[in-house]
Amino acid sequence: FFSVLGMLCYGAAFAPNPDAHRGFDMPIDMETGALDFDVWARWLEWDPVRMIDRAEYVDAWRKMSYIYLDSGLWDELNFQIGTRIMSNKLKALGLAHDFELFNDGHINVPYRYDTSLPRLEAAIREA
Protein backbone atom coordinates (compact mmCIF):
# COMPACT_ATOMS: atom_id res chain seq x y z
CA PHE A 1 0.00 0.00 0.00
CA PHE A 2 2.81 2.41 0.93
CA SER A 3 4.46 2.09 -2.49
CA VAL A 4 1.21 2.47 -4.41
CA LEU A 5 0.21 5.53 -2.41
CA GLY A 6 3.69 6.99 -2.96
CA MET A 7 3.42 6.54 -6.73
CA LEU A 8 0.04 8.27 -6.76
CA CYS A 9 1.48 11.16 -4.74
CA TYR A 10 4.45 11.43 -7.12
CA GLY A 11 2.05 11.58 -10.05
CA ALA A 12 0.01 14.35 -8.46
CA ALA A 13 3.13 16.35 -7.60
CA PHE A 14 5.28 15.73 -10.68
CA ALA A 15 2.76 15.58 -13.53
CA PRO A 16 -0.50 17.34 -12.66
CA ASN A 17 -3.03 17.29 -15.45
CA PRO A 18 -6.58 18.44 -14.67
CA ASP A 19 -7.81 16.74 -17.86
CA ALA A 20 -6.46 13.31 -16.89
CA HIS A 21 -8.66 10.67 -15.28
CA ARG A 22 -6.96 10.98 -11.87
CA GLY A 23 -6.00 14.64 -12.22
CA PHE A 24 -2.41 13.73 -13.04
CA ASP A 25 -0.38 11.70 -15.53
CA MET A 26 1.41 8.46 -14.74
CA PRO A 27 4.57 7.60 -16.69
CA ILE A 28 3.30 4.08 -17.36
CA ASP A 29 0.22 3.20 -19.37
CA MET A 30 -1.88 1.22 -16.90
CA GLU A 31 -3.40 -0.91 -19.69
CA THR A 32 -0.25 -1.85 -21.62
CA GLY A 33 2.59 -1.22 -19.19
CA ALA A 34 4.33 0.91 -21.83
CA LEU A 35 6.49 3.78 -20.65
CA ASP A 36 5.25 7.24 -21.63
CA PHE A 37 8.55 9.00 -22.23
CA ASP A 38 7.03 12.49 -22.23
CA VAL A 39 5.44 12.00 -18.81
CA TRP A 40 8.58 10.28 -17.49
CA ALA A 41 10.60 13.33 -18.57
CA ARG A 42 8.23 15.52 -16.53
CA TRP A 43 8.76 13.28 -13.49
CA LEU A 44 12.55 13.41 -13.91
CA GLU A 45 12.47 17.21 -13.74
CA TRP A 46 11.67 16.74 -10.02
CA ASP A 47 14.29 14.08 -9.33
CA PRO A 48 16.55 15.59 -6.62
CA VAL A 49 19.58 13.79 -8.07
CA ARG A 50 19.02 15.55 -11.40
CA MET A 51 17.83 18.86 -9.94
CA ILE A 52 21.18 19.39 -8.22
CA ASP A 53 22.77 19.69 -11.68
CA ARG A 54 20.62 22.69 -12.61
CA ALA A 55 22.05 26.13 -11.88
CA GLU A 56 18.98 27.52 -10.12
CA TYR A 57 19.07 24.65 -7.63
CA VAL A 58 22.83 24.76 -7.12
CA ASP A 59 22.40 28.40 -6.11
CA ALA A 60 19.77 27.35 -3.57
CA TRP A 61 22.04 24.62 -2.18
CA ARG A 62 24.86 27.18 -1.82
CA LYS A 63 22.59 29.42 0.28
CA MET A 64 21.85 26.68 2.80
CA SER A 65 23.60 27.08 6.12
CA TYR A 66 23.54 23.34 6.78
CA ILE A 67 22.92 20.25 4.66
CA TYR A 68 22.15 16.89 6.23
CA LEU A 69 21.48 13.75 4.22
CA ASP A 70 20.85 10.29 5.58
CA SER A 71 19.38 7.07 4.32
CA GLY A 72 18.96 3.50 5.43
CA LEU A 73 21.28 0.97 3.83
CA TRP A 74 18.25 -1.27 3.31
CA ASP A 75 15.86 1.44 2.13
CA GLU A 76 12.84 -0.25 0.58
CA LEU A 77 12.70 2.45 -2.10
CA ASN A 78 16.48 2.34 -2.70
CA PHE A 79 16.84 5.99 -1.72
CA GLN A 80 20.30 5.18 -0.39
CA ILE A 81 21.52 5.10 -3.99
CA GLY A 82 20.21 8.57 -4.87
CA THR A 83 21.31 9.98 -1.52
CA ARG A 84 24.85 8.71 -2.09
CA ILE A 85 24.85 10.25 -5.58
CA MET A 86 23.60 13.56 -4.15
CA SER A 87 26.37 13.51 -1.53
CA ASN A 88 28.98 12.93 -4.24
CA LYS A 89 27.55 15.79 -6.32
CA LEU A 90 27.61 18.11 -3.30
CA LYS A 91 31.26 17.15 -2.71
CA ALA A 92 32.08 17.87 -6.35
CA LEU A 93 30.48 21.30 -5.97
CA GLY A 94 32.54 21.94 -2.84
CA LEU A 95 29.45 22.11 -0.64
CA ALA A 96 29.94 20.98 2.94
CA HIS A 97 27.34 18.55 4.20
CA ASP A 98 26.82 15.64 6.55
CA PHE A 99 25.90 12.32 4.98
CA GLU A 100 25.14 9.15 6.87
CA LEU A 101 24.00 5.71 5.86
CA PHE A 102 22.46 3.77 8.72
CA ASN A 103 21.70 0.09 9.14
CA ASP A 104 17.95 0.14 8.55
CA GLY A 105 15.28 0.81 5.93
CA HIS A 106 12.99 3.67 4.98
CA ILE A 107 10.06 2.94 7.27
CA ASN A 108 9.78 3.04 11.07
CA VAL A 109 13.00 4.94 11.68
CA PRO A 110 11.88 7.80 13.97
CA TYR A 111 14.80 6.93 16.25
CA ARG A 112 16.93 8.71 13.64
CA TYR A 113 15.43 11.99 14.88
CA ASP A 114 17.78 11.65 17.86
CA THR A 115 20.63 12.08 15.36
CA SER A 116 19.21 14.51 12.82
CA LEU A 117 17.15 16.97 14.86
CA PRO A 118 19.93 18.10 17.24
CA ARG A 119 22.14 18.83 14.22
CA LEU A 120 19.41 20.78 12.48
CA GLU A 121 18.58 22.66 15.67
CA ALA A 122 22.24 23.63 16.10
CA ALA A 123 22.39 24.85 12.50
CA ILE A 124 19.26 26.97 13.00
CA ARG A 125 20.67 28.49 16.18
CA GLU A 126 23.93 29.38 14.40
CA ALA A 127 22.17 30.90 11.39
pLDDT in tens, 91-104: 999 999 999 999 99
Provide the residue ranges of all domains of the chain, joining segments of one domain with +. 1-46, 65-127
Mean pLDDT value across the chain: 94
Buried b / exposed e along 27-64 (16+ C-beta atoms within 10 A): beeeeeeeeeeebeebbeeeeeeebbeeeeebeebeee
> What is the percent of the chain with per-residue pLDDT over 70, rounded to a whole number?
98
